[in-house]
Homo-oligomer: A and B are copies of this chain.
Amino acid sequence: MSADTWLAQLHENGYRITAARRAVVEMVAKSTHALTPLEVYDLGRKKYRALGLVTVYRTLEKLEELHLIQRVHQPMGCQAFISMGQGHQHLLLCQNCGQAEYFEGDDLEALTKSISKKTGYQINEHWLQLFGLCANCR
């Protein structure tokens, strides 16, 4: 997913393309790490000096709305965002460098069926996230 695709998505949904949004989108789209609003702000200002932190918050909000990014939950905090994966994918995070990667292929069908029977719950969704050390850090 390139920054241009995201900008096109914003435009299609009636949002205007501005220098501020370009800066935010570009930085988040190309990052392999989850970024906090403040990190996006710092990075974004390298592209567009006048960028305001408030605009970062507002732009991230819109990107999340359009499912272009997602919030990443980690032991140390849940304020960071990362580019959304394609289809049904889950995150694999490096505990050392923060590098993030998507994976797919989890089959929890059997598990959810069994849990559903045991508990009486109708299971609608699951969150799965792996933590470890990336090839470089291990």
Contacts and interface: CB of A to CB of B under 8 A. Distances in A.
- The interface centre, meaning the residue of A105, A116, A130 with most chain B CB atoms within 10 A of its CB, is A130
Interface residues of A, number: 35
A61 to B, nearest CB: 14
A124 B95 contact: yes
A18 interface: no
A35 interface: no
Nearest to A111: B106
A133 interface: yes
A15 interface: no
A135 interface: yes
A103 B118 contact: yes
Interface of A: 73, 78, 92, 94-95, 101, 103, 105-108, 111-112, 114-116, 118-135, 138
